Amino acid sequence: MALNTSSIGLRLVVGAATWIVAALILTVWFLSAAFRDHAQTDFDEELNGHLVELLMLVDVDAQGRAVMTSPPIDPRTVQPYSGWYWIVSGPRQKPLRSRSLWDQELALPELPPRGETVINTIQGSHQKLRTIARTITLPGSKDDFLFMVTGPQADVDKAIRKFVSMTAIALGLLGLGLFGALILQVLYGLKPLRHIREALADVNAGRLSRLEGEFPSEVRPLVDELNGLLEHNAKVLERARTHVGNLAHALKTPVAVLRNLATKTDGEVADTLSRQTEDMHRHVDHHLRRARMAGAGKVLGVRTEVAEVAESMIKTMGRVFIDRPRKGILAGQRNLWFHGERQDLEELLGNLVENAFKWAKGQVRVTITPGRNESFPIKSRILIAVEDDGPGIPADKRVEALGRGKRLDESTPGTGLGLSIVNDLADMYEGTLTLDVSEWGGLKAVLDLPASVEEKTDKPDSWTDKLHLPHLPSRETRRKK
């Protein structure tokens, strides 16, 4: 799942990850502080044990001086510069020292109050030392003696650093596991929303007409509302088309009556009536088509295969113009789908193919290819080119040819609405119609239309078909026969 700045998933992940990181940092800090206090306390208790042992090993001789009855058990007190030192100092004698002090001299603290234990940290010659001192009056002597034991503070600091690093690694791995579980939870939790998005894409592409599948109770109301909206949209469009059809029948009949009356009378009034009814007929046709097309480009859940409609249009026009020899060519790429209704694509291609057959000398070609439109860079597009080898349209007349009811050749039957209808309908679908010159010198009309998702089939992607078109010999040929 792709996460962006407006994603619910990103918000959930960032929010939860922030709390996880904060909680882990606080946990490391709390555990480190607790272990530091524990390690320091444990170390001080060990120093106190050495001090008690030293008290038990010191006695007073006949002169009232402190003497060692036996050395301490801990071998570190004889290892030079080990940090484990002891000193017994009296007022009338040279201090007794552990062998581990070697040539070091430690500054002795002031005598603490009798019976009170003082714990402190001092800087020795080689390292920082943790000290514990007590003033004792030994039996057989009236003097106060200072008993002091030291241990290396580095041992405590090393243990604390090791604990902090191991705790940080363990909680870091826990954090990664929690983050991974969070990602999986978000992906799983938002899966129904992705399902809705994919279903809407299928509806938009025309593969489905409504959202289908099993959805959780939290999003089921949303799915029901969307399905209701889709059904309502389809019903509204169907009603609108029904009303347009009824209006077309209601208007065309009176116009047809007026046209018939105009043909049965002569004179200037009849000519005026004929021209006006013809204009009325064109205007009615034009605006009814626009009314029908108005919602076409916005309909969801519809799509049409282009090659199938193009082939049908070529064969149909071949039968309409059966008295003229024509060669119909269908080329390009299969599996391209127009994002719209079949009847609208038939309207678009029907007008263009009919125009091509009407003016072609011998051949008509329809080419279907995928395209790209800079105005709609995100959406898929289809290019449909309809070419003929007829006289074409001069460059300065092409804009005029797209105008409503413009007929460049009055001698050819027609209303002049064909290219205008195609242009309007393409515009309704956010498409375009452009006119150019074909490779045979005739007209090349190119439709740029929105495409739906391609669907894989067993048919080859690119092909060229020369369609067999029926041909009826001309009347002169039939007379000769």
Q: What is the pLDDT of residues 275-321, one digit of tens each?
A: 777 767 766 666 666 555 555 545 555 778 899 999 988 888 888 88
| 129 Cβ contact list (under 8 Å, min separation 6) | 83, 85, 106, 121, 122, 123, 150, 151, 152, 153
Q: What is the pLDDT of residues 160-180, one digit of tens each?
A: 999 999 999 999 999 999 999
Average pLDDT, the chain: 80
| Burial of 372 from C-beta contacts in 10 A (0-12 / 13-18 / 19+) | exposed
Task: Say yes or no: 80 and 59 in one domain.
Answer: yes
Task: Say yes or no: 398 and 273 in one domain.
Answer: no
The last residue of a domain, from among 137, 159, 181: 159
Structure tokens at 267: 């004179």
**To 5 degrees, how large is the angle CA 428–CA 296–CA 303?**
110
Task: Say yes or no: 264 and 322 in one domain.
Answer: no
Q: What is the pLDDT of residues 375-415, one digit of tens each?
A: 555 468 899 999 999 988 888 888 877 765 444 444 444 44
Residue 60 lies in a domain: yes
Q: With contact defined as beta carbons under 8 Å apart, do 327 and 363 qualify?
A: yes
Between helix 220-264 and helix 268-293 the angle, nearest 10°, is 170
pLDDT of residue 408: 45
Task: Say yes or no: 331 and 244 in one domain.
Answer: no
Task: Say yes or no: 96 and 49 in one domain.
Answer: yes
Length of the chain counted residue by residue: 481
Which residue, among 296, 283, 319, has the nearest Cα to 428 in the 3D structure?
296
Identify residue 474 by its one-letter amino acid code.
S
Average pLDDT over residues 84-94: 88
Task: Say yes or no: 387 and 260 in one domain.
Answer: no
Neighbour-count burial for 454-474, b at 16+ CB within 10 Å, e otherwise = eeeeeeeeeeeeebebeeeee
The last residue of a domain, from among 127, 142, 159: 159
Neighbour-count burial for 250-287, b at 16+ CB within 10 Å, e otherwise = ebeeebeebbeebeeeeeeeeeebbeebbebbbebbbe
Structure tokens at 4: 């962006």
Given a cut of 90, is residue 150 above it in pLDDT?
Answer: yes
Residue 68 lies in a domain: yes
Residue 194 lies in a domain: no
Distance of CA 467 to the CA centre of its chain: 45
Task: Say yes or no: 275 and 320 in one domain.
Answer: no
Given a cut of 50, is residue 463 above it in pLDDT?
Answer: yes
What is the C-alpha separation between 229 and 147, in angstroms, rounded? 92
pLDDT of residue 47: 93
The last residue of a domain, from among 244, 272, 293: 293
CB atoms within 10 A of CB 421: 20
Most confidently modeled range among 42-46, 137-141, 212-216, 249-253: 42-46
pLDDT of residue 218: 80
CATH code of 317's domain:
3.30.565.10
CATH code of 118's domain:
3.30.450
Hey, which residues does 87 pair with through a beta bridge?
A: 97, 148
pLDDT of residue 285: 67
Hey, which residues does 121 pair with through a beta bridge?
A: 130
What is the C-alpha separation between 81 and 104, in angstroms, rounded? 8
Task: Say yes or no: 324 and 257 in one domain.
Answer: no
Which of the four pLDDT bands, split at 50, 70 and 90, describes residue 468?
low
Q: Give the chain's end-to-end CA distance (angstroms, integer).
A: 74
How are beta strands 128-136 and 145-152 bridged, if at all? antiparallel
Task: Say yes or no: 255 and 307 in one domain.
Answer: no
Q: Which domain holds residue 383?
A: 303-480
Residue 392 lies in a domain: yes
Given a cut of 60, is residue 220 above it in pLDDT?
Answer: yes
Which of the four pLDDT bands, split at 50, 70 and 90, describes residue 327?
confident
Residue 181 lies in a domain: no
Task: Say yes or no: 228 and 343 in one domain.
Answer: no
Residue 453 lies in a domain: yes
Average pLDDT over residues 342-371: 89
Given a cut of 60, is residue 343 above it in pLDDT?
Answer: yes
Task: Say yes or no: 116 and 252 in one domain.
Answer: no
- The count of domains in the chain is 3
How are beta strands 145-152 and 117-123 bridged, if at all? unpaired
Q: With contact defined as beta carbons under 8 Å apart, do 146 and 171 qualify?
A: no
Task: Say yes or no: 310 and 453 in one domain.
Answer: yes
Q: With contact defined as beta carbons under 8 Å apart, do 314 and 366 qualify?
A: yes
Residue 110 lies in a domain: yes
Given a cut of 70, is residue 356 above it in pLDDT?
Answer: yes
Residue 446 lies in a domain: yes
Structure tokens at 143: 């003097």
* Global pTM value: 0.50
